[in-house]
Structure 1
């Protein structure tokens, strides 16, 4: 029993250390500046862990005995009866390019953050549970625009900035329904929380030396509500060595509570000209988080080889902000393909136990600019190194290179390199020992 308490203590200590290290690294950055985070609730974090990201994000149907599945709660029930603790970190380097007239503007930035923190444990041989904390969206943008004020020869200067994001604290559970049918169901309940701040300012360029009178508006929304996800999976055996995996998840449409505050202020340079006017403070509202449906199919050979395809549909046209105003987004479709290979999982040679991954994604984003749909395309690769006495612990690294938008006057082309690093630690807990 004392060993269990010691392991719990190490688990809590490792979790706190990971949060402190990543928080100090990512303070004030998120995953870097991107204009696309100004839309909706911000830019979405990928749902999968570092291993899933290495194979194109595929994970709706394919379980793995060495890693948690954060995408389909039903697949928790496929895990061996061990407790597993996982930490994931993410870094993102991006290059933004835009055509402005006859010139091209470029900007590069980098950000890093905690990707996920999770622990899973068995309740019995057919029932497992997990607790995890992970970011859901982030907002980080700063843009400026100049144009003539209608009816005058004066130039108006407009700036827009945003920061913040939402997080999810989740409890998930998966159950094997039929011992010989390999049918699984699961569910996830999450508390969605966080805040998003959007600010804008405008002034007419008269003096041009920082003394022009400026109008500022700040809008801050604090979110906090419960959201749900349902999952199912079926894993029929095709032969002694091959298994077919089918999986699906459903996130129902949810009205998420939020309170918002609006503040107006006149400034001259950095000096306020009047007391800030609070037009609205902690006003209650609800934002509509749309339904999402994901499905996946994969085939695997005895933990040696897995290949799969995932498809998702998100009804973002139903999204509304905290004022119940439709944000003008479009429905989105995501497609992912990927595979992983472990040369000889039963070998005693270390190099035969390394797992290799590759994949690709094609995503139709919910954004449309000047009549053109924004698309996100990326390719990925990664590997996992086994550690520990029985090689059940894993260190995973994945690289994802992609592009959003095109280099045309109406869009911003965003090229990015995402780095995902994951640590998976497994052990048998709560075993009744004859001799301690």
Structure 2
């Protein structure tokens, strides 16, 4: 038990140093500038860990004894006697482009963040518990728009900025009901804040410009739930079929909201007193119902191939002001595989795990009445570490594109990298005296 405490401390120290080294980027950018994060509650982080990320985020029906499953709480019960601690780091490089007035405008940016901290341990032979801290969404955008004022020789300038995001502290339980049937329950405390600001001014030559600024800040804090189930019937002595499902009910999340209008100069000096419409007023936002299903087939610990399908009712989303969020229902389809040459071998190269995946997402975002899509492919590798090779360093790489250069759509091409550490040990082991 002392060994894993030392490993956790070392990993935490190294991880926090890595995060601290990029803290301006982490706090300001999340995973980089994204104009679409202005919609809803922002961009959603990947639901799984770095291991799942390398195989298209497939993880609703499949689990591995050496890694945590953050997507289906029921599959925690497959972990057996091992206690596991995981750390994940995420980074993303992105190119954004849009056609404006028949001219192509583009920019590139990079962002990085702590992906998750998670700990799982057995309560008994049929019940496993996990605790995790994970960012759920991020908001980071900065948009400037200039257009002519109809009927005048003047132009108007509009600026829109946003930052913040939501996080989840999760307590999950997985139970082995019978030999092949599993059930899970996850409760999470969701918290965080999102700040959106906008300003407008008329560009008038020869006069002192006045900028009108609107600031909206919403602070969220509430409990959300998830249910999970899995069934693992054996097909024969070699192959096992895995079926899994999760359900996130529609939830009302408590919030407090502040709205302020003010006139300022171009340098930000106040011209008038703030006009406060709301100050920490109580509100509620509605998060949508989500359902995910997975099926996979595995050959021992050597080969696994799986497919996941998800449905998100984002049309149910309501803002903290109980207004429609102008979002559409989303769907996603993912396929992935995982291969370890010889998991019972003593040779290092036979224990390396390789992954590949593909994902097609129908996003909830609408641009000019067209619903955006996201298509990406992924690769991953896990390198065993430490005594008995039960610990792993995992690297996953995802490359994809969403949106196209058509109408008002913004095209985003991205490369996302994940770095994960999985540390395993046996806790609460009875001492044996010879």
TM-score range, shorter chain: over 0.9
Q: Which residue of 1 aligns with 2:35?
A: 35
Aligned to 1:214: 211
Partner of residue 392, structure 1:
390
Q: 1: distance between equivalents of 2:206 and 2:235?
A: 73
Query: Are 1:44 and 2:44 counterparts?
Result: yes
How big is the shift at 1:207? 2.7
How many residues end up aligned between the 2 structures?
430
Cα deviation, residue 8, structure 1 = 3.9
Alpha-carbon spacing, 1:49–1:13, altered in 2? closer, same or farther (3 Å)? same
Change (3 A) 1:75 1:299: same
Post-superposition Cα deviations, 1:17-66, rounded to whole Å, max 9, x if no partner, equal 53453144123221110101000000000111111010011000001011
State the partner residue of 2:309.
311
> Helix, strand or coil: the match of 1:36?
helix
CA contact (8 A) 2:220 2:253 kept: yes
2: CA distance, partners of 1:264 / 1:326: 22
Q: CA deviation at 1:372?
A: 1.4
Matched residue, 2:230: 233
In structure 1, the residue matched to 2:399 is: 401
Contact 1:100 1:409 in 2 (8 A): no
2:346 pairs with 1:355: no
Are 1:310 and 1:335, in contact at CA under 8 Å, matched by a contact in 2? yes
Aligned-partner SS, 2:81:
coil
Give the Cα separation in 2 of the matches to 1:208 and 1:66. Answer: 69
**Is there any run of 5+ residues in structure 1 with no aligned partner, and where?**
none
- Per-residue CA deviation, residues 296-341 of structure 1 (Å, 9 max, x unaligned), is 0000011100000000000000000000001111100011000010
Is residue 2:131 matched to residue 1:134? no
Kept in 2: contact 1:257–1:285 (CA 8 A): yes
Q: Which stretch of the first structure deviates more once superposed, 387-396 or 199-208?
A: 199-208
Distance 1:272 1:383 in 2: 55
Runs of 5+ unmatched residues, structure 2: none
Query: Matches of 1:105 and 1:121 in 2, distance apart?
Result: 50
1:247 has 2:244 as partner: yes
Q: TM-score, normalised by structure 2?
A: 0.96
Map of 2:196 onto structure 1: 198
Matched, 1:346 2:339: no
- Partner-residue secondary structure (3-state), 1:61: coil
The Cα RMSD (Å) is: 1.5
TM-superposed CA distance for 1:275, in Å, is 2.6
Partner of 1:101: 101
* Distance in 1 (alpha carbons) for counterparts of 2:175 and 2:303: 25
SS of match in other structure, 2:76: helix
